[in-house]
């Protein structure tokens, strides 16, 4: 939401610093998504490989 709001503000004002801030925020958002996706997949594959009786959370 912050990245989208910053993008809107940068577009409406034509501010170069806000445009750079938007790029940084979107990059941080995508990197966060990648970390979460990787950890989710790792967690899922660990639980798929174990027999049903050995699942421990």
User: For the whole model, what pTM was predicted?
Assistant: 0.72
Chain segment 1-57, per-residue pLDDT in tens? 899 999 999 999 999 999 999 999 999 999 999 999 999 999 988 877 666 666 555
Provide CB contacts within 8 A for 43, sequence distance 6+.
none
Classify residue 15 as left (phi > 0), alpha (psi -120 to 50) or beta: beta
């Amino acid at each position: 939401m912050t990245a989208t709001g910053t993008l809107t503000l940068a577009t409406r004002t034509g501010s170069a610093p806000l445009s750079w801030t938007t790029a940084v925020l979107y990059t941080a958002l995508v990197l966060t998504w990648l970390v979460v996706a990787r950890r989710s997949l790792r967690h899922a594959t660990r639980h798929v490989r174990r027999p049903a009786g050995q699942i421990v959370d």
